[in-house]
Amino acid sequence: MKSLVIGGNGFIGTNLVEELLASGHQVRVFDRYPSRYKEPFPQAEYVIGDLGNHGEVHEAVEGIDWVFHLAYTTLPQTSNDDPVYDVRSNLADTVQLLQECRDSKVKKVVFISSGGTVYGVPTQVPIPEDHIQQPICSYGITKLAIEKYLSLFQRLWGLEYVVVRLSNPYGEQQNPHSKQGAIGVFLGNIAEGKPITIWGDGEVVRDYIYISDAVTALVRAAEYQPAADSPRVFNIGAGCGYSLNQIVEELRAVVDVPVVVRYTPGRAVDVPRSVLDIKLARQILGWSPQVELKEGLARSWRWVKSLNLA
Ligand SMILES: NC(=O)c1ccc[n+]([C@@H]2O[C@H](COP(=O)([O-])OP(=O)(O)OC[C@H]3O[C@@H](n4cnc5c(N)ncnc54)[C@H](O)[C@@H]3O)[C@@H](O)[C@H]2O)c1
């Protein structure tokens, strides 16, 4: 299969491209920037472009079987600052992309949605896919709206898709200086000899999934051939939760240096507890997470140390 990975030079994208190439697929990467930490893969084709440039997107989807849409211009915590920008650069440009995919007869669109934001404040944990969806940030609303457009394009024009509602991925290629991704940022702080900052009391619980498990799920999603009334939206996570305080304790057991923690006031976008129910993905995609937290943290720490941040 020939895949287009939009946002393929980011954290998840770089890992996905590696996995697709290892499985023998042809890959075209479309991103506005090169990969931060990884040299280009010689077997992949790279296109530098912007999802907002419709001519570039038109050319990028030509001859493509699977489109993985990973590009996003906002984060949960920044999206409420400028919802119009969120709608224009994510929702509107994605609908434009879907039109191009439809016209180019793309076989499958795999979209990464957000298991941490589309449900809003959970009333039930672990959260199943049919839990009420009431996002408390613009990012969650645009992700959900894109899910609805995918469903519309499938219904009207037969464009096949799978939505992956991803929890909190961590691992190699995760930017330790990002505003997102607690484990990556904590590991970066530790490697730089700085204290870790925790917003709130550290009792916020999240579902952390190691990156290789996340990209395997994305490939399974692309391979999946849904019947007309089969599910197309899947939670992907570890299916178990850890508080930030527990993560810090796990990190202490993995890293070989002291870990200092500083607490600051909590943030409005943080729901208290988010753990995904992953039964549907296990049953229908035949996927399950393989890497335990301890092992994932050890691999991530080895990678962060290799960056020589200190
Ligand atoms: N990392 C997480 O914690 C997490 C959790 C759930 C869902 N997601 C989603 O997964 C996807 C990938 O996330 P990531 O962590 O790899 O992010 P990332 O920022 O590391 O990678 C995103 C890539 O998309 C590119 N990009 C952004 N806007 C673009 C545009 N308009 N045109 C072309 N390229 C563009 C960026 O240059 C970047 O390389 C995103 O849709 C994100 O919302 C991430």
Pair 164, 217: CB distance under 8 Å: yes
Average pLDDT along the chain: 96
- Backbone dihedral region for residue 133 (phi beyond 0: left; psi -120 to 50: alpha; all else: beta): beta
Mean pLDDT of 269-274: 83
Confidence of residue 269 (pLDDT cuts 50, 70, 90): low
Confidence of residue 238 (pLDDT cuts 50, 70, 90): very high
Q: What share of the chain is helix, strand, coil (3-state, %, to 5)?
A: 40, 20, 45
Q: Which of 15, 17, 18, 31 to mutate to test the pocket of ligand 1 (most atoms within 8 A of CB)?
A: 31
pLDDT beyond 80 at 61:
yes
Domains detected in the chain: 2-167+209-236 (3.40.50.720), 169-207+238-306 (3.90.25.10)
pLDDT cut 90: percent of the chain above it? 95
Atom 43 (ligand 1) nearest CA: 72
Please give the distance, rounded to the nearest whole angstrom, from the Cα atom of residue 218 to the centre of ligand 1: 14
pTM comes to: 0.97
8-19 pLDDT per residue, tens: 999 999 999 999
Lowest-pLDDT choice from 43-52, 94-103, 263-272: 263-272
Q: What are the beta bridge partners of residue 47? A: 30
274-310 pLDDT per residue, tens: 999 999 999 999 999 999 999 999 999 999 999 999 7
pLDDT at residue 249, as a whole number? 97
Instruction: Pick the closest to residue 150 from 231, 205, 218, 43 (CA basis).
Output: 231
Ligand 1 binding residues, C-beta < 6 A: 7, 9-13, 31-33, 50-52, 70-73, 112, 114, 166, 168-169, 180-181
121-154 pLDDT per residue, tens: 999 999 999 999 999 999 999 999 999 999 999 9
Confidence of residue 88 (pLDDT cuts 50, 70, 90): very high
Beta strands in 23-126 (DSSP E): 26-31, 45-48, 66-69, 108-114
Question: Residue 112 and residue 70: Cα distance in Å, rounded?
Answer: 6
Pair 5, 68: CB distance under 8 Å: yes
Pair 60, 28: CB distance under 8 Å: yes
